[in-house]
Amino acid sequence: MSKYDIIVLGSGPGGYVAAIRASQLGFKTAIVEKSELGGICLNWGCIPTKALLKSAQVFEYLKHAEDYGLKVKDAEHDFNAVVKRSRDVAGGMSKGVQFLMKKNKIDIINGYGTLKPGKKIDVDGTVYSADNIIIATGARSRELPSLPQDGEKVIGYREAMSLKKQPKKMIIVGSGAIGVEFAYVYNSLGTEVTVVEYLPNIVPVEDEDVSKQLERSFKKNGIKVMTSSEVTSVDTSGKGVKATVKTKKGEEVLEADIILSAVGIKSNIENIGLEDVGIVVDRDKILVNDYYQTNIPGYYAIGDVTPGQALAHVASAEGILCVEKLAGMHVEPIDYGNIPGCTYCTPEIASVGLTEKAAKEKGLDIKVGKFPFSASGKASAGGNKEGFVKVIFDAKYGEWLGCHMIGAGVTDMIAETVVARKLETTGHEILKAVHPHPTMSEAVMEAVADAYDECIHI
């Protein structure tokens, strides 16, 4: 029986990062993976979707070249080539993780891993033991009873990334990050897209002003948006698919070639031996303490299988913290109130902290500032005037409670707020930190200035 200091079950952005940090700290480490290294995020999520989004964005630029004083005749796209590029990008990244495993002397155990009592893992009949086991098995597309996925007419995000033929009409159920990103991709490439959202606003976790702006942008680009609506049944018996949608005005039947179910994710906790070991699970999540220890000594869990936000960067941070704690290092628990969220449709969305509504519900006295990109020189020059930056501060102490952005490149701007909040920076300090001109990032300073009635450019 092979013995390790740490075995990681799952090689997604939580698992492979935890394994590398463990090796750096001197632990003899192995990682168990049933499929491709890098997990869903790298192979079927974060990375390949960004490749699809970039192709869609470039095609949009070509179609609107005249807005920039350029002429492009008869711009066309090759759907299969777009998909191939996305798969090639994912494949290259997976090979990169393989290189990192080799570089850090981490043993890769290919196969299906099942947890066993006594800190052991059975991988397709071969048993391995470790002083510590980290569970990082991630999540998959969640299925609704009214929307069973058949992989052909009713699909999840995985199939949406590798369709053989572009659909003429697509219904997307759910308007979280996955739903709106695919809505942008397929609409840009010419598919007629309808987004169906159960809640009153699309991207419902975002500030309401952001949700309303994205809905306006989507509708302007020809995407049909149905909020406060629910798909109650689907009929796949014909050539395409029919969806019965319950709305405020009554039932409506939509027809399409394909339905994409983007109603969230389901943790991969079945059939991995949790029951045999006695690890406690509640509402589809493995319960852990601040350092990712389960109720059974020697077994840890990170990433989408735990109650924190189901985001790649959260899983990575949890993996690093978990291993550093095992190494005896002094570590601080993660502040889940300061986790940035990013959505990569066009316009992009990025946010961290409290929304205006949440701050008011807490009874806080707040200052709110907002700066539109229509007043930004860099945004105007780039032809990206849609959107804004919105900031929320505690009126008494100047604490930066939240920041919400929608516009071009905002996913690359949100880190300023995350770091500032980590350092307990006040609005005054942001105002006096000189921001470069002309940049999109100036909008952060301008929004803060607006909150304190000092804005120059609006």
Strands, E assignment, 220-311: 224-226, 230-235, 241-247, 250-256, 258-261, 265-267, 281-282, 285-286, 299-301
Does 175 show up as a binding residue in the annotation? yes
Token look-up 């570590």 returns 331
Copy the structure tokens of residue 386: 């849609």
Does 453 show up as a binding residue in the annotation? no
Does 17 show up as a binding residue in the annotation? no
CB burial string 229-253: b at 16+ within 10 A, e below = bbbeebeeeeeebbbebbeeeeeee
Does 174 show up as a binding residue in the annotation? yes
Report the C-alpha dihedral over residues 281, 284, 287, 290, rounded to 10 degrees: 170
CA distance 161 to 139: 17
Does 178 show up as a binding residue in the annotation? yes
Does 26 show up as a binding residue in the annotation? no
Does 264 show up as a binding residue in the annotation? yes
Kindly report the backbone phi and psi dihedral angles of residue 234, in degrees, each rounded to the nearest multiple of 5, phi listed first: -130, 150
Does 50 show up as a binding residue in the annotation? yes
Does 237 show up as a binding residue in the annotation? no
Q: Is 330 a catalytic residue?
A: no
Contacts of 139 (CB under 8 A, 6+ apart): 40, 265, 266, 267, 268, 304, 305, 310
Q: Which of 64, 428, 437, 457 is catalytic?
A: 437
Does 386 show up as a binding residue in the annotation? no
* Cβ atoms of 154 and 236 closer than 8 Å: yes
Does 180 show up as a binding residue in the annotation? yes
Copy the structure tokens of residue 216: 């306006």
The distance of Cα 226 from the centroid of its chain, to the nearest Å, equals 22
Give the residue ranges of the annotated binding site.
50, 113, 174-181, 197, 264, 304
- Residue positions annotated with a catalytic role: 437
Could you tell me which residues are annotated as the binding site for FAD? 50, 113, 304
